[in-house]
Amino acid sequence: MYDAILFDLDGTLLGLDNDHFVNLYFKALGQKLSPWYPEGEIIPLIVQATEAMMKARGDRGLLCDVFREAYDRQSTVPFASLEPVYDEFYRTEFDQVRTISRPLPLARKVLEQAAAITPRIALATIPIFPRVAIDARLNWGRLSDFPFALITSFENMHTSKPNPNYFLEVAHRLNVAPSSCLMVGNDYRDDMAAVAAGMETYMVLDYALNSHLARHTPTYTGSLADLHDFLLQIRNS
């Protein structure tokens, strides 16, 4: 029995081709910011600021602060002056990207099975996006009304996957021991890093990523349908 179950979002609860998503995302964002940045300039800027979040050790404040600091080191326009533009982008134009996503009918059933085991269900999506962008993707997956106990974003986390401290921080926020947690995800590198934090893991194979970068062996593997049956078995045990 688990005290908390953590779920990744993209490729786990939401059908999404990661490469296609990134390409469409940068195209839409580049168009939105074209009055301030020449074509092609915004992509390396966002990539560098994102890498700073990925490398954060937790001693430089929240990830949103790390992002802003890294952004302002490279940009001719301060992030603070463009923050309303970014917010508008995620509330409007970002929805263009939903065309390459698809809701997974099993996702809600899996979440419901998990919630029957414990009320501490976390959306442990990689926290390199603001909450508004995560809410949008939950809406694409028709999961926006699910009562997650915690949704990680760059406004509330100090570290990011695959840093084991990310998972420790989530466990702390949920007030549970890492050893009593199950992390569910589709990324061998980012999600299975929960092993290093002492968590059990379930690797969902439907949209598997980064098998060549795997450093940890998942506790369990299977499809989303297999995960549903796995949780049902735990619930009934």
Interval 2-17: pLDDT, tens: 999 999 999 999 998 8
- Cα Dmax for the chain: 59
Interval 79-126: pLDDT, tens: 999 999 999 999 999 998 888 899 999 999 999 999 999 999 999 999
Q: Kindly give the interhelix angle for 42-55 and 18-32, rounded to the nearest 10 degrees.
A: 120
Angle at 218 between CA 214 and CA 224, to 5 degrees: 105
Output the pTM of the full model: 0.94
Using alpha carbons, select from 73, 69, 45, 72 the residue that is nearest to residue 59. 69
Interval 150-183: pLDDT, tens: 999 999 999 999 999 999 999 999 999 999 999 9
The dihedral formed by the CA atoms of 176, 182, 187 and 191, expressed in degrees to the nearest 10:
20
Interval 200-232: pLDDT, tens: 999 999 999 998 988 999 999 999 999 999 999
* C-alpha to C-alpha distance for 50 and 1, rounded to whole angstroms: 36
- The values of phi and psi at residue 194, to 5°, are -60, -25
